[in-house]
Structure 1
Amino acid sequence: MRHCFSRPATGPAILRTARTLLLGGALLGSLAACGSKAKTTDPDPTTPDTGANEPAIFAQTGFSTQNGGTTGGASGSTVTVRTLADLQQYASSATPYVIKIEGTITGGTQGASVSVNSNKTLLGVGSTAFLEGVGLTISNKRNVIVRNLKFTMSTVTRTAINDEGRPQVVANDGDCVTIEGSQNLWIDHCEFYNLDPVTQTNQDLYDGLVDAKGSSQYITVSWSYFHDHHKCHLIGSSDSDNADRKMTFHHNYYSNIKERLPSYRGGTAHVFNNYFKHVTGSGVNSRVGACLLVENNVFEDVRDPVTSKNSALGYWSASGNQYLSCTGSQPTNAACTLAVPYATTGVLTPAAEVKDAVTTKAGVGKL
Structure 2
Amino acid sequence: MRRPVALRLCATLATAALAATTGVLVAMPSASAAATGSATGYATQNGGTTGGAGGQTVRATTGTAIHAALCGRASASTPIVIEVEGTINHANTDKVSGASCNTAAGVIELKQISNVTLVGVGSGAVFDQLGIHIRESSNIIIQNVTVKNVKKSGSPISNGGDAIGMETNVRNVWVDHASLEASGGESAGFDGLFDMKDNTQYVTLSYSTLRNSGRGGLIGSSETELSNSFITFHHNLYENIDSRAPLLRGGTAHIYNNYYVKLNESGINSRAGAHAKVDNNYFKDSKDVLGTFYTSAAGYWQVAGNIFDNVTWSSPGTDNNPAGPDVKSTATVSVPYSFSLDAATCVPDVVTQTAGANKGLKVSNGTCTPQTPSPTPTTPTSSPTTTPTSSPTSTPTQPGGTNLSIGAGADGSSKAAGTSYGNVKDGNLSTFWSPAGATGSVSVKWSSPTAVAGLNIREAAGSAGSIGSWRVLNGDTGAVLTSGSGAGAITVPRTSLSKITFEITSSTGTPKVAEFETYAG
Task: Give the TM-score taking structure 1 as reference length.
Answer: 0.81
Deviations 1:8-39 (A, max 9, x none): xxxxxxxxxxxxxxx3xxx3445678976312
- Highest RCO, 1 vs 2 (Cα 8 Å, sep ≥ 6): 1
Instruction: Report how far residue 171 of structure 1 moved.
Output: 1.9
C-alpha deviation, 1:176, in angstroms: 1.1
1:299 aligns with 2:283: yes
**Is residue 80–residue 102 contact of structure 1 (8 Å, CA) maintained in 2?**
yes
Q: Tell me, in whole angstroms, the C-alpha distance in 1 between the residues paired with 2:195 and 2:157.
A: 16
Query: Which of 167, 173, 176 is residue 185 of structure 1 equivalent to?
Result: 173
Identity %: 36
Aligned-partner SS, 1:308: strand
Q: Does 1:341 align with 2:324?
A: no
Offset, 1:323: 0.4
1:321 alignment counterpart = 306
C-alpha distance in 2 between matches for 1:257 and 1:30: 42
Match of 1:129, SS state, is: strand
Conserved 8 A contact 1:72-1:143: yes
Equivalent residues of 2:62, 2:86 under 8 A apart: no
**1:169 shift after superposition:** 6.4
Asked if the contact 1:203–1:231 (Cα under 8 Å) also holds between the matched residues in 2, the reply is: no
Identify the range of structure 1 (313-322 vs 237-246) with the bigger mean alpha-carbon deviation: 237-246
Structure 2 counterparts to residues 257-276 of structure 1, below 5 A? 257-276=241-260
Q: Does 1:130 align with 2:126?
A: yes
What is the Cα deviation at residue 126 of structure 1? 3.4
Moved more, 303-312 or 264-273: 303-312
Equivalence for 1:89 = 68
1:315 corresponds to which letter in structure 2? Answer: Y
Q: 2:155, 2:299 → 1: CA distance?
A: 29
State the secondary structure of the residue aligned to 2:348.
helix
Alignment partner, residue 171 of structure 1: 158
Pick aligned residue for 2:52 from 51, 58, 73:
73
Q: How does 1:216-255 map to 2 (within 5 A)?
A: 216-255=200-239
User: 1:277 corresponds to which letter in structure 2?
Assistant: V
User: What amino acid maps onto 2:291 in structure 1?
Assistant: T
Please give the alpha-carbon distance, in whole angstroms, between the structure 1 residues aligned to 2:235 and 2:261.
13
1:269-288 aligned at under 5 Å gives the runs: 269-288=253-272
Task: Give the gaps of 5 or more residues in structure 2.
Answer: 10-18, 94-104, 314-321, 362-521
What is the CA distance between 1:275 and its match in structure 2?
Answer: 0.2
Q: Structure 1 residues 307, 127: CA separation in 2 closer, same or farther (over 3 Å shift)?
A: farther
In the alignment, the residues of structure 2 paired with residue 175 and residue 210 of structure 1 have an alpha-carbon distance, to the nearest angstrom, of 7
Q: Is the 8 A contact 2:64 2:92 kept in 1?
A: no
Give the superposition deviation at 1:127.
Answer: 4.8
The amino acid of 1:143's aligned partner reads N
Q: 2:107 aligns with which of 106, 113, 128?
A: 113
Maintained 8 Å contact 2:85/2:123: no
**What does residue range 31-42 of structure 1 map to in structure 2 within 5 Å?**
37-42=23-28
**Corresponding residue number in structure 1 for 2:141:** 145
Structure exhibiting the larger radius of gyration computed from Cα positions = 2
Distance (Å, rounded) in 1 between the aligned partners of 2:284 and 2:147: 25
User: What are the Cα deviations for residues 70-98 of structure 1, in whole angstroms up to 9, with x where unaligned?
Assistant: 00011210000011211122245523210
* Deviation of 1:189 (Å): 0.2
Within the candidate set 345, 348, 356, 1:355 is matched to: 348
Number of the residue aligned with 2:374: none
CA contact (8 A) 1:286 1:313 kept: yes
Q: CA deviation at 1:42?
A: 2.4
Cα distance change of structure 1 residues 109 and 141 upon mapping to structure 2, 3 Å threshold: closer
The number of equivalent residue pairs is 320
| d(CA) in 2 for partners of 1:169, 1:322 | 40
Given that residues 50 and 70 in structure 1 are in contact (C-alpha distance below 8 angstroms), is that contact kept between their aligned partners in structure 2? no
CA gap 1:259/1:169 in 2 versus in 1, 3 angstroms: farther
The correspondence for 2:182, drawn from 176, 194, 207, is 194
Q: Deviations over 1:189-223 (max 9, x none)?
A: 0001111x3xxx54472111110002111100000
Distance in 1, Cα, partners of 2:43 & 2:3:
21
CA contact under 8 A between 1:127 and 1:148: conserved in structure 2? no
**1:121 partner amino acid:** T
CA distance, structure 1, for counterparts of residue 142 and residue 118 of structure 2: 5
Checking the alignment, whether the CA contact within 8 Å between 2:268 and 2:291 is kept in structure 1 is yes
The letter of the residue matching 1:78 is T
Q: Distance in 2 between matches of 1:169 and 1:232?
A: 21
Shift of 1:152: 1.2
Counterpart of 1:85 in 2: which secondary structure?
helix
Q: Please give the alpha-carbon distance, in whole angstroms, between the structure 2 residues aligned to 1:108 and 1:281.
A: 36
Q: Which amino acid aligns with 2:237?
A: Y
Instruction: Identify the residue that residue 7 of structure 1 maps to in structure 2.
Output: none
Aligned match of 1:10: none
Q: Does the C-alpha gap of structure 1 residues 28 and 272 become closer, same or farther in structure 2, counting only changes over 3 Å?
A: farther
Corresponding residue for residue 49 of structure 1 = 34
Over aligned residues, Cα RMSD in angstroms?
2.3
Which whole-Å CA distance do the structure 1 matches of 2:64 and 2:182 have between them?
A: 24
For 1:255-306, what per-residue CA distance to the aligned partner results, in whole angstroms no more than 9, with x for missing partners?
1110100000111000000000011010100010010000100000111011
8 Å contact kept, 2:63–2:92: no
How far apart are residue 244 of structure 1 and its match? 4.9
Mean Cα displacement is larger for which, 210-219 or 33-42? 33-42
CA drift at 1:60: 2.5
Distance 2:49 2:223 in 1: 29
Q: Give CA deviations for 1:321-366 in whole Å, capped at 9, x if unaligned.
A: 000011114353211111111111xx31110110000011111112
Structure 2 Cα separation of the partners of residues 333 and 326 of structure 1: 15
TM-score after normalising by structure 2:
0.58
**Separation in 1 of the partners of 2:292 and 2:156?**
29
**Letter aligned with residue 362 of structure 1:** A
